A and B are shown apart, each in its own frame.
Chain A
């Protein structure tokens, strides 16, 4: 490779916990790579597998889904549903021979700015090791 690979990671975050956690990372001036591209939804449970697939097929090298910690969902139980749906999508990825490690679900509370930065840094490193999203190169399905 001629220059260092900078991944793109779509981070879909619930507005109550994870997005606020990301805000706190910013307010605390914590540094994390530009690879993370955050977008906000009302609740992680709004994110159906198709939206994650859309991000993946749009060339996201990794897709990060952030929600409130189990038991802390602003909508009581949304994230429990998220967790189940996410597990199914992971299983589908594995079945199709896709790299399910390109999907990550993380619970980040509104007060966990450092955790957000940590996840952003670690996940970026992980994806760097995996290299580019293969769907960018060829039709593979």
Chain B
């Protein structure tokens, strides 16, 4: 069948109408050299993206029986999807259409109308030659599972589970230890101004346990996971027994939290087990039990609270220490108002709106804050230099260290298992720190709480709730997902099985077929970037809708 290509130039009001000589474009197109076997039908219209324009274009496609369509208009970012919709409505496979950007890339960048028109013709010719080599592609709809696996039963994991659990979806909550609650369950007071911290956590635990849509798997870890958004097949394994659970879930939330780095491992803080030096978590435990006391059982009369331990080595601020050290100072003051409390810090971090007030309150309690530029420990003697001051030494009965939060111990293994990235600090890496903070490099895998970076209970809960919202929008019960169509494929006959593509793929979308000895693309996971294509030494890869033929035609015609 002879190809018949509709070429529609949108005037875009004056944007193209006045910057490009459209009549000359329409005149030139039918006379293009090399297209004698093709019927070219060039027309123009006022505003193709308007309701009238869309209706007109759809009717034109149907009435003329176009085999291909070229729309010369604005940036594809503006209206590519609009015209894809028109194609679909008119029964033309949208992969046989191409938008040509003659507004941003021609009319708007050259004052000289003639030059802009020449360039527009060049672009349109290149587009015509490209569409002739484009092939029909078909979108697939895949069934999804709306259920979710949450890894980690701390405050972030529990909150995510509770926010997700509803009559239409199930949540599997895998916790590696024997109990829910995580580290926050040990805190006597959850936030500076909430006295009954542990009670709040206990209520959450109870709510999770009683929720009929949440199934809790204690002493359980993730063993394997394959799949993609909407369709993950995971295996959970008991860490004390051989019990295995196979699950199908649509999304996975990582909420594995953090661990406190060992303060004694940082230069200047080496201390012996017999010294009266404690970590903040140890103080929390004492405060929740018999009260905070020295090894002799006596209450300390003077305490040094040292912030920012390990901050320099780690290269980041742990964000919550300033607040919880003031909270701990409060424990001491409550125990005995006479306790002399001194806090040493490098930089004060007060990120939340109520933090300043809490700081002022702590100053009011008589706590002495010292901003230092260097500090070291010798037993319970603190050697330091305040900013702008010389070296000093003070002796204390007890020292408490706020050491840096670091990724929990199984972070690396879990990242390897799920094939997602870690950042340079070792935490799980979000898709985008600012604009996509709970997603990861793999669609359908999310990361919340302190497993993503230092943060406290309230921020962890916030991320958990946000993620639950994201998942509820993305995975609707009975809904379907349409995977990317412009994906890579491997031509079996050419693949030598070198596995280079497996190395470069950032999404785990290529796997190796041991039987055939070749690489295979999992099209449901592939994002279509084409990096594998760029890496393939044997020319076995093809990127759909961006094939060599298509790109070669486009570039050679544009350069004519």
Known: A8-B559, A23-B77, A34-B116. A75 touches B531 (CB 8 A): yes
B527 interface residue (CB < 8 Å to A): yes
**Interface digits, B496-516 against A, CB 8 Å rule (1 contact, 0 not)?**
000000001011000000000
Interface range for B: 35 or more
User: In this assembly, does B110 line the interface, its C-beta being within 8 Å of a C-beta of chain A?
Assistant: yes
The CA-CA distance from A20 to B104 in the complex, in Å, is 10
| Contact between chains at B101 and A23 (CB < 8 Å) | yes
Among B75, B126, B507, B528, residue most surrounded by chain A Cβ atoms (within 10 Å): B75
Question: Known: A34-B118, A39-B551. Contact between A10 and B558, CB under 8 A?
Answer: yes
SS class of chain A's interface: helix, strand, loop or mixed? Answer: mixed
B538-560 to A contact mask, C-beta < 8 Å, 1/0: 00000100101001101110110
Closest Cβ of chain A: how far from B427's Cβ, in Å?
Answer: 16
Contacts known (A41-B530, A76-B441, A78-B506); A58 close to B555, Cβ less than 8 A: yes
Residues in B with CB closer than 8 Å to A30 are 109
Pairwise interchain contact A22-B104, C-beta atoms closer than 8 A: yes
Least Cβ–Cβ distance between A92 and chain B, in angstroms: 15
| Inter-chain contact B76/A40, CB cutoff 8 Å | yes
- Chain B neighbourhood of A20, CB < 8 A: 77
Cross-chain contact A34 with B110 (CB below 8 angstroms): yes
| Stretch of A43-51, A96-104, A123-131 at the chain-chain interface | A43-51
B105, CB-defined interface residue at 8 Å: yes
Q: How far is the CB of A120 from chain B (nearest CB, A)?
A: 9
Which residues on the B side are within 8 Å of A32 (C-beta)? 109
Q: Which of B77, B109, B535, B548 has the most CB of A within 10 A?
A: B109
Contact A81 B559 (CB under 8 A): no
Q: Are A42 and B534 closer than 8 Å at their CB atoms?
A: no
How far does the Cβ of B45 sit from chain A's closest Cβ, in whole Å?
21
Contact residues, B460-510 vs A (CB, 8 A): 486, 504, 506-507
- A26 to B106 alpha-carbon distance, docked (Å): 8
Q: Is B533 an interface residue (CB 8 A)?
A: yes
Across the interface, which residues of A come within 8 angstroms of B507, CB to CB? 75
Contact A27 B104 (CB under 8 A): yes
Known interface pairs A26-B109, A42-B528. Does A55 touch B504 (Cβ–Cβ under 8 Å)? no
Known interface pairs A22-B105, A30-B109, A75-B531. Does A42 touch B486 (Cβ–Cβ under 8 Å)? yes
Whether B441 lies near A23 (C-beta < 8 A) is no
| Least Cβ–Cβ distance between A58 and chain B, in angstroms | 4
When distances are taken between beta carbons in the complex, the residues of chain B under 8 Å from A42 are 486, 528-530, 543, 546
With A31-B111, A34-B118, A37-B123 in contact, do A51 and B551 touch (Cβ < 8 Å)? yes
Most B C-beta atoms less than 10 A away, residue of A22, A48, A59: A48
CB–CB A81/B552 < 8 A: no
| B395-435 residues at the A interface, CB under 8 angstroms | 421
B555 to A54, Cβ gap below 8 A? yes
A25 at the interface (CB under 8 A from B): yes
Q: Does B176 contact A (CB under 8 A)?
A: no
- Across the interface, do A23 and B534 meet the contact criterion of CB distance under 8 Å? no
Check if A46 sits within 8 Å of B531, measured CB to CB.
yes
Task: Check: B103 CB closer than 8 A to any chain A CB.
Answer: yes
Assembly CA distance A74 to B504 (angstroms): 14
B340 close to A (CB within 8 Å): no
Is A18 on the interface with B (CB-CB < 8 A)?
no
Residue B35 is within 8 A (CB to CB) of chain A in the complex:
no
Q: Which residues of B contact A8 (CB under 8 A)?
A: 559
Q: Is the CB of B109 within 8 A of A46?
A: no
Q: A23-B77, A37-B122, A51-B548 are in contact. Are A43 and B530 (CB under 8 A)?
A: yes
Q: Smallest distance from the beta carbon of A28 to chain B beta carbons, Å? A: 8
Chain A, residues 51-87, CB within 8 Å of chain B (1/0): the string is 1001100111000000000000011111001100100
CB contact under 8 A between A76 and B421, given known A42-B528, A43-B530, A45-B531: yes
CB of B108 within 8 A of chain A?
yes
What's the nearest-Cβ distance from chain B to residue A64, in Å?
12
Q: Identify which of A29, A54, A58, A78 contacts B529 (C-beta below 8 A).
A: A78
Q: Mark B53-78, 1 if CB is under 8 A from A, else 0.
A: 00000000000000000000001110
- Cβ of A77 and Cβ of B506 under 8 Å apart? yes
The distance from the CB of B443 to the nearest CB of chain A, in whole angstroms, is: 12
> Which residues on the B side are within 8 Å of A34 (C-beta)?
110, 115-116, 118-119
Q: Which residues of B contact A75 (CB under 8 A)?
A: 506-507, 527, 529, 531
Question: Which A residues are in CB contact (< 8 Å) with B530?
Answer: 41-43, 45-46
Residues of B contacting A12 in the complex (Cβ-Cβ under 8 angstroms):
555
Taken together as a complex, chains A and B put the C-alpha atoms of A48 and B501 apart, in Å, by: 13
Docked Cα-Cα span, A34 to B528, in Å, equals 30
Q: Within residues 96 to 140 of chain B, which ones have a CB less than 8 A from any CB in chain A?
A: 101, 103-105, 108-111, 115-116, 118-119, 122-123, 126
Lowest 10 CB-CB distances: which A-B pairs, in order?
A: A46-B530, A26-B104, A45-B531, A43-B529, A75-B529, A26-B108, A58-B556, A76-B506, A23-B104, A48-B534
Can you sample 18 A-B contacts with CB below 8 Å?
A: A10-B555, A25-B109, A29-B108, A34-B118, A41-B530, A42-B546, A46-B529, A46-B531, A48-B534, A51-B555, A54-B556, A58-B555, A58-B556, A74-B529, A76-B421, A76-B441, A78-B529, A81-B504
Enumerate chain A interface residues (CB-CB to B < 8 A): 8, 10, 12, 15, 20, 22-23, 25-27, 29-34, 37-43, 45-48, 50-51, 54-55, 58-60, 74-78, 81-82, 85, 117
Q: Which residues of B come within 8 Å of A, CB atoms?
A: 75-77, 101, 103-105, 108-111, 115-116, 118-119, 122-123, 126, 421, 441, 486, 504, 506-507, 527-531, 533-535, 543, 546, 548, 551-552, 554-556, 558-559
